[in-house]
C-alpha cells in the first residue's frame, strides 16, 4: 500500500499524523507492505502512482501558503482519482477540494473545485467545537464514527455527506450532516485524530486503497485484528455522550 501524505509539515493540525501511524500499524500487523511518502511544496511527485492520498488540517495561514502548489497539481490529482487512487481529507484538506474556503478575514482561498460544496466563515468568529458522533454507511457498512471538531468554516452545498450527526455540529451549525463521501474521497472535520478511535474506518480506508491494484479485493479479505483498546476508548466516549453504540 503506497501512500502520499501531502504537506505533512504544515497541514498536521490536532495530530493528524496519528492517522498515518494507525494505517501503518494496521497494515504491518497484517503483513501488508506500507510505503509512506511525504510530499511538500515544490516537491515533484506523480500522485497517480499512489494508492492513497492524505491531506490533513491546517489554519488559514497554512492553507494560503500551499494553495498555489496544490492548484498546480489539479490535473495530476484528477488523474489519480480517475485511476482509483483513494483520497482521505481532514478539515482543511476537505475544504480545499471544494469551490473555495473563506478565511476568518473574509478573504477567499480558491479550492480545487472538484466538488460543488464551498466553505464560508462562521459569523462573528463563531466555531463548531466539541465531541461529535455521526452515523455513516460506508459502501453498505453501517458504523458510528466518533471524533472532535473545531472549525469556524461552515461547509455548505454538500451533495454526498459522509453521515448523519448524532451528537455535535457537522459541516455547519444546522447541517445535521457531516463530511463528504462519494466513493472516491472521504472528507471530514473529525479530528482526534480520526482513525485511532475508529478502527473500522481505518480498515475501510485500507480496503479502498488496496482495491486500486486489486479491484476484486473485499473488505472481508482484511485479516481481523484485536481492537480491544480502541473499543474501550469508543465505549468511554459513547458513555460520556449518553449514546448507545
Q: How far is CA 130 from the centre of its chain?
A: 18
Question: Within 84-193, where are the H helices?
Answer: 92-95
Q: Using omega within 30 degrees of 0 as the cis cutoff, is the peptide bond preceding 230 cis?
A: no
Catalytic residues: 91, 191
- Count other Cβ atoms within 10 Å, centred on residue 118: 20
DSSP three-state, residue 236: helix
Q: How far is CA 32 from the centre of its chain?
A: 22
DSSP three-state, residue 143: strand
Q: Do the annotations mark residue 26 as ligand-binding? A: no
- Count other Cβ atoms within 10 Å, centred on residue 103: 18
Three cell numbers written together for 209: 486503497
| Contact (Cβ atoms closer than 8 angstroms) between residue 55 and residue 13 | no
Residues marked as binding?
127
Residues marked as binding for substrate?
127
Amino acid at each position: 500500500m503506497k501512500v502520499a501524505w501531502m504537506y505533512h509539515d504544515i497541514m498536521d493540525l490536532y495530530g493528524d499524523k496519528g492517522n498515518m501511524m494507525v494505517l501503518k500499524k494496521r497494515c504491518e500487523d497484517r503483513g501488508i507492505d506500507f510505503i509512506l511518502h511525504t510530499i511538500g511544496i515544490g516537491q515533484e511527485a506523480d500522485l497517480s502512482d499512489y494508492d492513497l492520498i492524505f491531506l490533513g488540517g491546517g489554519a488559514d495561514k497554512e492553507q494560503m501558503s500551499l494553495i498555489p502548489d496544490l492548484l498546480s497539481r489539479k490535473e495530476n490529482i484528477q488523474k489519480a482519482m480517475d485511476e482509483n487512487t483513494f483520497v482521505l481529507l481532514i478539515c482543511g484538506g476537505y475544504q480545499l477540494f471544494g469551490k473555495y474556503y473563506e478565511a476568518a478575514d473574509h478573504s477567499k482561498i480558491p479550492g480545487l473545485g472538484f466538488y460543488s460544496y464551498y466553505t464560508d466563515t462562521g459569523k462573528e468568529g463563531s466555531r463548531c467545537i466539541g465531541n461529535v458522533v455521526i452515523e455513516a454507511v460506508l459502501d453498505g457498512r453501517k458504523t458510528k464514527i466518533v471524533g472532535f471538531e473545531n472549525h469556524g468554516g461552515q461547509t455548505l452545498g454538500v451533495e454526498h455527506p459522509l453521515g448523519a450527526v448524532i451528537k455535535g455540529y457537522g459541516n455547519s451549525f444546522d447541517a445535521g450532516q457531516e463530511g463528504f463521501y462519494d466513493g472516491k474521497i472521504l472528507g471530514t472535520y473529525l479530528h482526534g485524530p480520526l482513525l485511532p478511535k475508529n478502527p473500522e474506518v481505518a480498515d475501510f480506508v485500507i480496503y479502498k486503497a488496496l482495491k486500486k491494484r486489486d479491484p476484486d479485493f473485499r473488505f472481508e479479505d482484511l485479516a481481523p485484528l484485536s481492537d480491544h483498546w480502541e473499543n474501550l476508548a469508543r465505549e468511554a466516549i459513547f458513555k460520556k455522550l449518553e449514546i448507545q453504540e
